[in-house]
């Protein structure tokens, strides 16, 4: 009778342990976030930044106010920062999430120039 | 004899519980994988639409008309190469057959009248409010004039 009791207790302990393990597994599965849906927005923004830089270099570097105007037209509702060598123009308020794209070009004088666009999202 | 019988009964109950727990665990895992697959599958059509729109417009601004794929970029005979993002001053309409998702395609100069190359009615179900559309823009230079190339892509 004593042995039977001990065996019952052991069986009960095992079941409780398994149930606890199962509960933990369910909790882990439920707490796992499904994978984020693929989003092409960063690529799209990068393409548009690249467009602006290529067009600016290709047409001849415009003035900073014209660059700002182009920026607002291509990225309505966005804020950012335009860099032209050591000069910078802020468009709107900065934010924490930033994408920067830059391009180097040879100026007519032969000097190396740099243009950059930072986009805040 | 009595002890053996009791042990057998205890073993069976234990095994039954273990099997039930194993089945429940497997069920939870499968349910999780199933929800994951359904979630991914529901996001896939929108992703495909975005991808086709982005890559189609990218091809338009990077290819010229001599390629097998539609293109609007100009060919610079001096440089012997296609000039991405630079269109000829009077770009011709690209060949848009075979792109059923393309709803409309417009070239909108910063200063000047726009050119519309495609604008077709939605061919989806009668309830067109459920149609998903994405609009993408690319900046190009038409001659010396900056313009936006705007493409709208819909799944219906």
Strand, coil or helix: B114: coil
DSSP conformation class of A77: T
A103: chain B residues, CB-CB within 8 Å: none
Taking CA atoms, what residue in A is nearest to B32?
A29
Q: Are residues B100 and B118 in contact, defined by beta-carbon separation less than 8 angstroms?
A: no
Tell me the backbone φ, ψ of residue B79, rounded to 5 degrees. -90, -10
The CA-atom distances, in angstroms, between A62 and each of A71, A91, B85, B133 are 12, 16, 17, 34
Tell me the backbone φ, ψ of residue B136, rounded to 5 degrees. -125, 145
Q: What pLDDT is recorded for position A53?
A: 95
Spatial distance between the Cα atoms of B130 and A17, rounded to a whole number of angstroms: 50
Choose the closest CB to B10 out of A11, A22, A55. A11
Q: What pLDDT is recorded for position B43?
A: 81
Identify the band that residue A102 occupies on the pLDDT scale cut at 50, 70 and 90.
very high
Q: What is the pLDDT of residues A56-85, one digit of tens each?
A: 998 888 999 999 999 999 999 999 999 998
Q: Hey, is the C-beta of B21 within 8 angstroms of any chain A C-beta?
A: yes
Taking CA atoms, what residue in A is nearest to B30?
A29
Spatial distance between the Cα atoms of B50 and A47, rounded to a whole number of angstroms: 14
Taking CA atoms, what residue in A is nearest to B29?
A29
Q: Hey, is the C-beta of A74 within 8 angstroms of any chain B C-beta?
A: yes
Judge whether residue A116 has pLDDT over 90.
yes
Q: What pLDDT is recorded for position B1?
A: 47
Q: What percent of chain A has pLDDT over 90?
A: 45
Strand, coil or helix: A113: strand
Contact A58 B7 (CB under 8 A): no
Contacts 24+ apart (CB under 8 A), A92-95: A92/A120, A93/A120, A94/A120, A95/A120, A95/A121
A34: chain B residues, CB-CB within 8 Å: 35-36, 39-40
This prediction has a pTM of 0.75
Contact B18 A18 (CB under 8 A): yes
Q: What pLDDT is recorded for position B95?
A: 83
A18: chain B residues, CB-CB within 8 Å: 17-18, 21
């Amino acid at each position: 009778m004593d042995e039977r009791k001990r065996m019952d207790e052991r069986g009960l302990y095992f079941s409780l342990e398994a149930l606890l393990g199962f509960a933990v597994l369910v909790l882990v599965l439920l707490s796992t976030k499904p994978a984020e849906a693929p989003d092409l927005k960063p690529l799209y923004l990068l393409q548009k930044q690249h467009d602006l830089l290529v067009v600016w270099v290709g047409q001849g570097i415009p003035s900073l106010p014209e660059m700002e105007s182009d920026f607002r037209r291509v990225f309505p509702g966005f804020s950012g920062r335009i860099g032209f060598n050591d000069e910078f123009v802020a468009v709107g308020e900065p934010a924490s999430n930033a994408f920067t794209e830059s391009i180097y070009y040879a100026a007519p004088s032969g000097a190396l120039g740099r243009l950059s666009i930072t986009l805040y999202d | 004899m009595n002890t053996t019988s009791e042990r057998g009964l205890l073993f069976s109950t234990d095994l039954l519980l273990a099997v039930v727990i194993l089945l429940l665990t497997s069920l939870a895992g499968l349910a999780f994988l199933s929800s994951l697959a359904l979630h991914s599958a529901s996001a896939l059509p929108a992703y495909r639409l975005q991808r086709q729109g982005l890559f189609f417009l990218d091809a338009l601004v990077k290819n010229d008309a001599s390629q097998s794929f539609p293109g609007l970029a100009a060919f610079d005979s001096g440089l012997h190469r296609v000039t991405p993002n630079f269109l000829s001053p009077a770009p011709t309409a690209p060949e848009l057959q075979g792109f059923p998702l393309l709803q409309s395609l417009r070239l909108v100069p910063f200063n000047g009248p726009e050119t519309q190359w495609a604008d077709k009615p939605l061919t989806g179900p009668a309830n067109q409010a459920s149609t998903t559309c994405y609009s993408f823009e690319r900046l190009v230079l038409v001659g010396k004039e900056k313009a936006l190339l705007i493409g709208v892509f819909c799944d219906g």
